[in-house]
Structure 1
Amino acid sequence: MTYEAHRPKTGRAAGPGPRPLWRQRDFGVFWAAQTLSVLGDSFALIALPLLVLEATGSIARMGLLTAVGGAASVLAAVFAGAVVDRVDRRRLLIGCDLVRMLLYGLIPAVWLFGPQLWLLYAVLPLCEAVGMFFAVGYVTVVRGLVGTDRLTEANGRLNATAAAAGVLGPLCAGLVAAWSGPAAAIGVDAGSFGVSAGCLLLVRFTARAADDAPRKRPGLWGDLRTGVGFLYRQPVLRALTALLFGFSFLTLGLNDLVIYHLKHDLGHDDHTVGVVMAAGALGTITGALLVARVRRRLGFGRTWTGAVAVCGLAFAGLGLVREASAVALLSAAFLACVGMAGTCSMSLRQEVTPEHLLGRVTAAFWTLHYAAAPLGAAVLTWAAQRRGTAPVALVAGACCVLIALAGLFTPIRRFGRPAPRRRTRW
């Protein structure tokens, strides 16, 4: 069966003269739910490392928490695709939000009786695992809401407003942490997941076609092999998976590195950390809004490799600058390009993957390219504790640039080139 047979036949955005995305009710409500979910994540992104740093003063302990959470996410990704392709995706997304609301809500409740670091190492892996199921499910439902032809636009919009929440989240988290402590910020995080679940209750997702579900299902490991096999047969996805394996190893610990640099090296408070992280997140908005236009103009290959190269240059400079404003500027450049590269990658998978395989292919992609990231976060933060942030950031950034250069020698370079402009004859 050809890919065309798997394209949504009744998608509301697929016909002639589609309505603007913001006027499509179901996509709009889903858009709001995803934004709220990211708002909660952005609170945790600041509050959890601050809790560890407040209690221990160690960037290595921060990195260990990031590594434990990342390892749980990788393990969940092994099974997430098979589960997403088997169950009702709407119920799955709602359930994931409710579970995270309850788990994150435990932290401020327990913290009232004093710091309990063990709780963070128990709660974060569970939340990261549940978050992986949510992320895979989220990717699989977008095409049914907007149609294939508008995937890049829809993903760009989702990422842009999620980035706006990423700006507001760190800013508010920094303020709440400065006034009431990081544990209170995690309480706000828990509440945002509850509101997101309420929004998802109102969304009507497009039902999957009956022939999209195979009559005989393989086991979970068989499902993972199915996803890996599809990635291997697609030259561009195969190259992306390999290159992102190295990129994720180098960059998962970046957030811990920035927070430590601001508080330990530069001596700033929690409020400044929140402001800098929020300002940096503005870059994600810029990248998400520009990615569709840039990809149309430059093509997939140039957009992706160029974005990764700029990520590396920005990363290399983060440990060298001594002003908080410069840290914010470089963070914005890094996040803008991560957003552009990530949106291109996600849209490509959604475009070329048949509907009944989308969950398994997404899970396999994330499992493979994210597998070494937890170890990378631990190594990066351990090295920063021993050698300082400047040399570690410089080496990691240079390696990211090398990854972009390596992409020029793969099918990524030639894929999705813009069509040549036709000359008008007079």
Structure 2
Amino acid sequence: MRTSVLYLGSYFVSVLGNSIAAIALPLIVLQATGSAMSAGWVAAATAVPAVLAGLFMGVVIDRINRVTSSVVTDLVSAASVAALPIVDGLVGLEVGWFVLFGVIGSLGDVPGMTAREALLPRIARSSSLSTERLIGLRESLGAISLLIGPAVAGLLMTLFDGSTVLWITAGTSFLAALLTLGIPRSVGRTDDVPATAPLGAWREFVEGWQLLTRTRLVAMVTGLSLLSVMVLSAFQALILPVHFTLIDRPGLLGFVLTSIAAGLLVGSGLYVAFADRLARRTWLVMGLLVSSVGFAVIGLLPPTWLLFGAGFVLGLGSGLCGALLGLLTTSAVPERALGRVMGTQNALVTAAAPAAILLAAVVIEHVSLTAAAAGFVALWVVMSVVAVAGPVLRDLEPSEPESIDA
């Protein structure tokens, strides 16, 4: 039980730190440079290396102890953030420093997430928790982090100067590394995971890609996850902000995002409590149906009170099946290849968000806000129907992971 507590604590602190940084860092960039364009350049410059790191660092995660890789990536993230207030005190911060250390930090963020996810099967085996409950608890803690992170970031920015907030943010990554250090190294070993043959790094990367694309279950789960991130990102980052700006109520956006996080917490909590009471397909169908209703109502851009309710429903549906989607990948992929497959998934998810925001911007600019909202809702509903009606997700009960010839 101690191992699972350390694992969940590390995950919670790491996600909380990322949630704080997502709000605080753009504000600190604005304070330091006085330029909104600078904040945009920092975000854009860090996105590409984050995607590349996610794609290719999975091979490394599958080769070295996963406890070690998780600790190292957290320390990289901590150091990249801590360097900013040091530079500020020495020479002052300019946009180039934010880009430099943002790129360095991005090399730790996605691989760190991947290493922590790849650890989960062995964490479950070393504790009294089932894999279903452990993933459900992890998703619940992630929802709590997303719920309180923006509020904590706002409070910190009110109480302290930017450098102090950066030190606190770096401290969350450092604390996550310390908690992970408490996990026995034997839990993170990969050398006793059976492999079909010793492979070169490139062949291992190709094998991971083939496992993701040729294992039908994993491919479908990845598609659902990607589309979910794309639709949610488009609404959170552009469609809803434009809507609230047009009705002159921009401050209400935060309440909608809070309602989504609250629904996510309730949904994942229900999954933790009753995961073994219902079949996996039942959880999936319920989650996709409820989230589709939430997306559909939000897509209508209704009165604000209804948006709050729809946000909660959306989060509830995502919580009901979100942990299950992670579980399906874990159970369908050979443990020796989890780093490669999950690293590729996380890289695709990282790239999906800005791609969706760009697509939404083009549609809003050249067609209309209503068309953008309706289009993204239609994408999600169609994908949900295909997933539920197709043969791939009909039998989701535990089975042996698929393998391929590399």
Shorter chain as normaliser: what TM range? Answer: 0.7 to 0.9
Match of 2:64 in 1: 87
1:190-242 per-position Cα deviation (integer Å, ceiling 9, x unaligned)? 22112222222222142537542549642333112212332344332232234
Separation in 2 of the partners of 1:125 and 1:342?
29
Match of 1:421 in 2: none
Match of 1:314 in 2: 294
| Pair 1:151-2:128 in alignment | no
- 308-317 or 342-351: bigger deviation: 308-317
Alpha-carbon contact 2:67-2:188 (below 8 Å) kept: no
Counterpart among 184, 201, 204 of residue 223 in structure 1:
204
Counterpart among 276, 283, 286 of residue 263 in structure 2:
283
Alpha-carbon contact 1:105-1:186 (below 8 Å) kept: yes
Alpha-carbon contact 1:175-1:274 (below 8 Å) kept: no
Distance 1:248 1:160, change over 3 A: closer
RMSD: 3.7
Match of 1:235 in 2: 216
1:399 deviation in Å?
Answer: 1.5
Separation in 1 of the partners of 2:247 and 2:382?
29
| Pair 1:132-2:113 in alignment | no
Separation in 1 of the partners of 2:336 and 2:100?
34
1:344 deviation in Å?
Answer: 0.9
Distance 1:343 1:151, change over 3 A: same
Task: For 2:20, give the aligned amino acid.
Answer: F
1:119 deviation in Å?
Answer: 4.5
Separation in 2 of the partners of 1:105 and 1:381?
34
Task: For 1:255, give the aligned amino acid.
Answer: Q
| TM-score (normalizing by structure 2) | 0.80
Match of 2:385 in 1: 405
| Pair 1:34-2:14 in alignment | no
1:160-184 per-position Cα deviation (integer Å, ceiling 9, x unaligned)? 1232222221111123335557776
* Percentage of pairs with the same residue: 22
Alpha-carbon contact 1:280-1:332 (below 8 Å) kept: yes
1:366 deviation in Å?
Answer: 3.7
Counterpart among 177, 202, 205 of residue 157 in structure 2:
177
Separation in 1 of the partners of 2:102 and 2:178?
23
Counterpart among 281, 296, 300 of residue 301 in structure 1:
281
Separation in 1 of the partners of 2:307 and 2:42?
23
Match of 1:423 in 2: none
State the number of aligned residues.
391
Separation in 2 of the partners of 1:308 and 1:40?
29
Separation in 2 of the partners of 1:389 and 1:347?
36
Alpha-carbon contact 2:64-2:189 (below 8 Å) kept: no
Distance 1:220 1:249, change over 3 A: farther
1:139 deviation in Å?
Answer: 1.2
Separation in 2 of the partners of 1:125 and 1:164?
27
Alpha-carbon contact 2:66-2:188 (below 8 Å) kept: no
| TM-score (normalizing by structure 1) | 0.76
| Structure 1 residue ranges without an equivalent (≥5) | 1-23, 419-426
Separation in 2 of the partners of 1:342 and 1:282?
14
| Structure 2 residue ranges without an equivalent (≥5) | 399-406
Match of 1:4 in 2: none
Distance 1:141 1:196, change over 3 A: same
- 39-48 or 389-398: bigger deviation: 389-398
- 298-307 or 72-81: bigger deviation: 298-307
